[in-house]
């Protein structure tokens, strides 16, 4: 790929307590410093969903210290790819950004058993995204 800059991805959902937190954690875990990762919510919750924290811990990713963050225009402007997960029309749109909308069930109010399939779906989508936005290299 001719572009050697580090791609940046912003994951957005309403509360930044479930789907976007899982997606950001998977991308950070899988990509390391090859991708800049952000997550935010249009109406952030006070804490990350405990069932989401537990489901991620089951796959070896600790997000217990994460805190939901408010969506800002600056975060969108600083990102190459913006992935929304149910934030509707509250996500600002800027020219030159790539927008994807991932239709995923909301884990809010769900137990860990209901969160697992959402987690696994997000992991696969993140793996596909990573393969698409980063050059392949085998180490």
User: What are 32-43's pLDDT values in tens digits?
Assistant: 999 999 999 989
- DSSP-derived letter for residue 90 is G
Rounded Cα distance between 92 and 75, Å, is 10
pLDDT digits (tens, 9 = 90+) for 89-105: 666 677 888 999 999 99
Reply yes or no on whether 137 is catalytic.
no
The stretch 12-30 carries a mean pLDDT of 96
Reply yes or no on whether 87 is catalytic.
yes
Reply yes or no on whether 115 is catalytic.
no
Q: Per the residue annotation, which of 48, 87, 118, 122 is the catalytic one?
A: 87
pLDDT reading at 139 higher than 70: no
What is the SS3 string spanning 31-70? HHHHCEEEEEECCCCCCCCHHHHHHHHHCCCCCCCCCCCE
Rounded Cα distance between 130 and 139, Å, is 16
Rounded Cα distance between 70 and 34, Å, is 24
Residue 46 pLDDT level (bands cut at 50, 70, 90) = very high
């Amino acid at each position: 790929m001719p572009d050697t800059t580090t791609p940046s991805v912003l994951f957005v959902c309403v509360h930044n307590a479930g789907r976007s937190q899982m997606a950001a954690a998977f991308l950070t875990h899988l990509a390391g410093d090859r991708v800049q990762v952000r997550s935010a919510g249009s109406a952030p919750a006070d804490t990350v969903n405990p069932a989401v924290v537990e489901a991620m811990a089951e796959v070896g990713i600790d997000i217990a210290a994460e805190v939901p963050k408010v969506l800002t225009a600056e975060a969108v402007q600083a990102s190459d790819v913006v992935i929304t997960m149910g934030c509707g029309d509250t996500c600002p749109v800027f020219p030159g950004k790539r927008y994807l909308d991932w239709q995923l069930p909301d884990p809010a109010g769900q137990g860990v058993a209901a969160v697992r399939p959402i987690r696994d779906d997000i992991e696969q989508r993140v793996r596909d995204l990573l393969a698409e936005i980063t050059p392949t290299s085998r180490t």
